[in-house]
C-alpha cells in the first residue's frame, strides 16, 4: 500500500480526487485503489513541556533557568491523539510513504516529524501541491521527488521550533517570575518574534507621545503663463532659517515677499520633461495582499489570511496562499488566457478587466528564477460566482485576479514636467504629470488625476496673479495599522539602527513569515499588549511596560532578522543547526542575568501613570499565582511567536 500523508483534510480530499479509480472513505483516511490518503490536522505534535524532561520543572523557579533539554521530545497535541493513532496504524500497513505537507518550511516539518516520531524507516517521497484543482494535483502526483532532498528544510524548521521553545519558555518564565516580585500577577509572555513586533509599536507610540510640533511656512504664487495658469512654490535660500528638510522656520521673510509678488513679472528659467514607463505591480504574495486589503477595505491581516484559506480550500479559486513569492512559473504563461477566462467569466468587474487584457504580452512576473517552493497567489481557473462568496471573499479574490490580469496590460506611460521660475530674483518651482497611456492603472484606481500643467516653453514670461503664505506644522509619525505593521515586518531592515547589521539583511528577510504575521498581531492583541482603536494599533500600558523592562535587544528586530538568516543558511546547507543553537544558549544566559524586578516595577508604575488604553487585569492560569505555592506551566501559551 502507498500511504500519502497530507497536511490537512482539504488537501487529502484534493489528492484522493486526483487519483485514478473510485475512492471510499474510512476512519481518518480515503482509499483509492492501492493508495490510501490520510492527513494531519496542522501540527499533531508539539515540543514537550519542561516537566516532560524533569517533573520538578512544572514549578516555575528562577534558579531552574535556563531550561536546556539534552534530548528533545515531542508530545501529541491533546486533540490530535485520534488522528495520530490512525496514521500509526496505516504506517504499519504501508510499503511506501509520500509526504504531502504544504510547500514551505512548516509544511515540511509538521508531516515529517509525524513520520519520524512514529518510527517509519522506509523511503519517503515528497509531493508538492500548490493548487487544489484536479489537473494541478495530477501533475504534482506525476512528479514526486525524494523527500531526502528536503531534509535541510526540515532541519531548519526543527531548529526554529527548538530555538523558539528555548527563547520563549526561558524568557517568559524569567519575566513572569520577576513580574511577580514587582507586584504583577500574570504571565508576561516573551517571544523572539512577537516581542520585537510589540517593540516596533511601543517605539512608534513613544515617538508620537514625545513629538513636539514645529511651525514652518510655505509661500505660493499663482502664475499666468502663455497657455494657462499654474501654482508655484517659493524655494527659500540658505540665508533664511531652514530645518534639515529645507522648510522655512520664520514667517517674516515669506510674508514680506508675498506682499511684493502680486503683479510681478518673471521668467521660466529651467524646464525639465521626462517620459517614464511603469510596469504593472507584480502578482501578490500573502503579505503584499494583506497590506493592500487593509488599505482598501480596512481588513485585518488575520481576516485576509482566513479569507485566502477559504478561497483556497473551500472554493478552490486560488493557488496556495501562504506564499512569500510575487512571481509565477514560466510554464503558467501558456495557459494564462484559459485560466483567467475561466476564473473571471462569472463576475462583471473581472469580465471588464479581462476584455482589455492582451495575452500576447509577457511581463517580468513569469520568472522561474524567482520562484521557490511556491509561487505568487493566482486564480486557479475555477469560475468565480459572486453569489457563493461572502462580500469579503469576493473583494479579496478580485484583488488577486486583478494583479494577474494587470500583467497583460501596457505599462503606465507618463510625462513628468518640472519647471523653475525666477521672480524678483527668487526661485519658485512646480511640477506636474501628463498621462500618455493609462495602461494598467485603471484596474487599480478610479480617482481623477491632478490637472496637468499647461504647455510650457523654457524662457517664456510669467506674471504673478496672487500670492499667499500658509502656516503649517510638522506632524508626528502615523500610528501603526495592520497594513503598515505587516509592511514593517516585511521590510524590517528599515527599522534596524546598526548600519553593519542593516547591510547584512537581504530584501526578503523580515519578522515572521507569510503564514505567521497575521497571527502574531492577533496574539499581541489577545494577550493585552496591543489594542485596536479604529484602524490604529496602539500599545497598551502593559505592553509598553514589558518593552521598557526588557533588555533593549529583546524588543528590537535585529536578533530575529539574523535568526532568519541563519535558519535560511541551514535550509540551504550552508550552516549546521548545532552552532546556531549553541550561540542562542549563550545569548540566553546573558539575557536571563539581566532580569531585574526593580526595573520592571518602575516600568509598570510609569505605564500606570500614563494616559492611554489600559490592558485588562487578567489572571492567566498558565502563570504562577502569588502565594499559592501551586505549580504552573506556560504550556498553554505558545512561546514560538
Cα 535 from chain centre: 17
Q: For residue 534, how many C-alpha atoms fall within 13 Å in the half-sphere facing its CB?
A: 4
Which of 150, 320, 409, 495 is the catalytic position? 320
Burial of 213 (0-12, 13-18, 19+ CB in 10 A): exposed
Picking from 434, 384, 427, the residue whose alpha carbon sits closest to that of residue 404 is 384
Cα 635 from chain centre: 26
99, 127 contact by CB (below 8 A)? yes
Q: What is the 3-state secondary structure (H, E, C) of 108-146?
A: HHHHHHHHHHCCCCCCEEECCCCCCCHHHHHHHHCCCEE
Which residue(s) pair with 230 in the sheet?
223
Q: Determine the Cα angle at 536 with ends 531 and 542, to 5°.
A: 30
CA distance 570 to 584: 15
Q: For residue 587, how many C-alpha atoms fall within 13 Å in the half-sphere facing its CB?
A: 17
**Beta strand segments in 322-425, E:** 412-423
Count of CB atoms situated within 10 Å of the CB of 557: 27
Q: Return the percent helix, strand and coil in the chain, to nearest 5.
A: 45, 20, 40
CA distance 351 to 336: 15
Q: Which residues contact 521 (CB under 8 A, 6 or more apart)?
A: 197, 300, 301, 302, 482, 485, 486, 530, 537
Strands 124-126 and 145-146: antiparallel
DSSP secondary structure code for residue 466 in this structure: E
8, 41 contact by CB (below 8 A)? yes
Question: In 183-273, where does DSSP find H-type helix?
Answer: 194-210, 251-260
Picking from 462, 422, 467, 450, the residue whose alpha carbon sits closest to that of residue 228 is 462
CA distance 270 to 595: 62
The C-alpha cell 510650457 sits at 456
Count of CB atoms situated within 10 Å of the CB of 416: 13
Q: For residue 390, how many C-alpha atoms fall within 13 Å in the half-sphere facing its CB?
A: 11
Q: Which residues contact 151 (CB under 8 A, 6 or more apart)?
A: none
**Cα dist. 503→170, 489, 561, 574 in Å?**
30, 17, 12, 20
CA distance 123 to 510: 35
CA distance 250 to 255: 9
284 counts as catalytic: no
Q: Catalytic residue numbers?
A: 320
Amino acid at each position: 500500500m502507498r500511504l500519502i500523508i497530507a497536511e490537512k483534510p482539504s488537501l487529502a480530499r484534493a489528492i484522493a480526487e486526483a487519483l485514478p479509480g473510485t475512492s471510499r472513505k474510512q476512519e481518518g483516511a480515503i482509499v483509492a485503489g492501492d493508495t490510501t490518503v490520510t492527513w494531519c490536522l496542522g501540527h499533531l505534535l508539539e515540543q514537550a513541556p519542561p516537566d516532560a524532561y524533569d517533573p520538578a520543572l512544572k514549578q516555575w523557579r528562577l534558579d531552574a533557568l535556563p531550561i536546556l533539554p539534552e534530548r528533545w521530545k515531542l508530545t501529541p497535541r491533546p486533540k490530535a491523539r485520534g488522528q495520530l493513532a490512525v496514521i500509526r496504524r496505516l504506517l504499519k500497513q504501508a510499503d511506501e510513504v509520500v509526504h504531502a505537507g504544504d510547500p514551505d518550511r512548516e509544511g515540511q516539518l509538521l508531516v515529517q516529524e509525524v513520520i519520524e516520531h512514529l518510527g517509519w524507516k522506509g523511503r519517503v517521497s515528497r509531493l508538492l501541491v500548490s493548487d487544489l484543482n484536479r489537473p494541478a494535483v495530477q501533475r504534482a502526483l506525476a512528479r514526486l521527488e525524494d523527500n531526502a532532498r528536503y531534509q535541510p528544510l526540515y532541519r531548519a524548521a526543527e531548529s526554529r521550533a527548538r530555538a523558539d521553545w528555548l527563547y520563549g519558555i526561558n524568557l517568559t518564565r524569567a519575566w513572569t517570575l520577576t513580574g511577580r516580585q514587582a507586584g504583577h500577577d500574570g504571565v508576561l509572555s516573551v517571544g523572539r518574534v512577537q516581542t520585537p513586533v510589540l517593540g516596533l509599536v511601543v517605539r512608534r507610540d513613544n515617538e508620537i507621545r514625545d513629538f513636539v510640533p514645529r511651525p514652518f511656512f510655505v509661500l505660493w504664487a499663482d502664475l499666468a503663463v502663455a497657455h494657462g495658469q499654474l501654482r508655484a512654490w517659493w524655494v527659500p535660500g540658505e540665508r533664511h532659517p531652514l530645518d534639515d528638510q529645507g522648510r522655512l522656520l520664520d514667517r517674516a521673510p515669506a510674508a514680506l515677499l508675498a506682499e511684493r509678488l502680486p503683479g510681478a513679472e518673471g521668467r521660466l528659467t529651467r524646464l525639465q520633461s521626462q517620459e517614464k514607463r511603469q510596469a504593472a505591480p507584480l502578482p501578490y504574495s500573502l503579505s503584499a495582499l494583506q497590506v493592500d486589503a487593509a488599505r482598501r477595505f480596512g481588513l485585518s491581516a488575520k481576516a485576509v489570511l482566513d479569507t485566502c484559506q477559504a478561497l483556497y480550500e473551500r472554493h478552490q479559486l486560488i493557488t496556495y496562499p501562504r506564499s512569500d513569492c510575487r512571481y509565477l512559473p514560466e510554464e503558467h504563461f501558456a495557459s494564462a488566457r484559459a485560466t483567467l477566462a475561466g476564473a473571471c467569466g462569472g463576475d462583471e468587474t473581472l469580465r471588464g478587466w479581462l476584455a482589455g487584457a492582451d495575452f500576447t504580452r509577457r511581463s517580468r512576473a513569469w520568472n522561474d528564477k524567482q520562484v521557490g517552493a511556491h509561487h505568487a497567489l493566482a486564480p486557479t481557473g475555477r469560475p468565480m460566482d459572486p453569489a457563493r462568496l461572502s462580500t469579503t471573499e469576493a473583494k479579496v479574490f478580485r484583488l488577486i485576479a486583478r494583479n494577474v490580469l494587470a500583467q497583460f496590460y501596457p505599462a503606465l506611460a507618463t510625462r513628468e514636467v518640472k519647471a523653475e521660475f525666477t521672480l524678483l530674483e527668487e526661485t519658485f518651482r512646480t511640477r506636474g504629470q501628463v498621462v500618455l497611456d493609462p495602461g494598467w492603472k485603471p484596474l487599480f484606481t478610479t480617482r481623477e488625476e491632478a490637472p496637468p500643467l499647461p504647455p510650457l516653453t523654457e524662457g517664456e514670461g510669467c506674471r504673478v496673479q496672487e500670492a499667499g503664505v500658509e502656516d503649517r506644522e510638522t506632524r508626528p509619525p502615523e500610528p501603526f495599522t495592520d497594513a503598515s505593521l505587516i509592511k514593517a515586518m516585511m521590510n524590517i531592515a528599515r527599522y534596524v539602527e546598526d548600519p553593519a547589521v542593516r547591510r547584512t539583511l537581504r530584501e526578503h528577510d523580515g519578522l515572521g513569515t507569510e503564514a505567521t504575521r497575521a497571527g502574531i498581531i492577533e496574539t499581541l492583541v489577545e494577550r493585552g499588549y496591543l489594542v485596536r482603536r479604529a484602524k490604529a494599533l496602539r500599545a497598551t500600558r502593559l505592553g509598553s511596560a514589558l518593552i521598557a523592562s526588557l533588555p533593549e535587544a529583546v524588543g528590537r528586530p535585529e536578533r530575529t532578522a539574523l535568526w532568519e538568516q541563519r535558519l535560511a543558511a541551514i535550509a540551504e546547507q550552508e550552516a549546521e543547526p548545532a552552532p546556531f543553537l549553541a550561540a542562542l544558549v549563550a545569548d540566553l544566559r546573558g539575557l536571563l542575568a539581566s532580569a531585574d524586578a526593580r526595573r520592571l516595577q518602575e516600568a509598570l508604575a510609569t505605564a500606570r501613570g500614563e494616559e492611554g488604553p489600559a490592558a485588562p487585569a487578567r489572571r492567566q492560569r498558565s502563570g504562577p499565582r502569588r502565594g499559592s505555592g501551586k505549580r504552573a506551566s506556560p504550556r498553554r501559551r505558545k512561546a514560538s511567536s
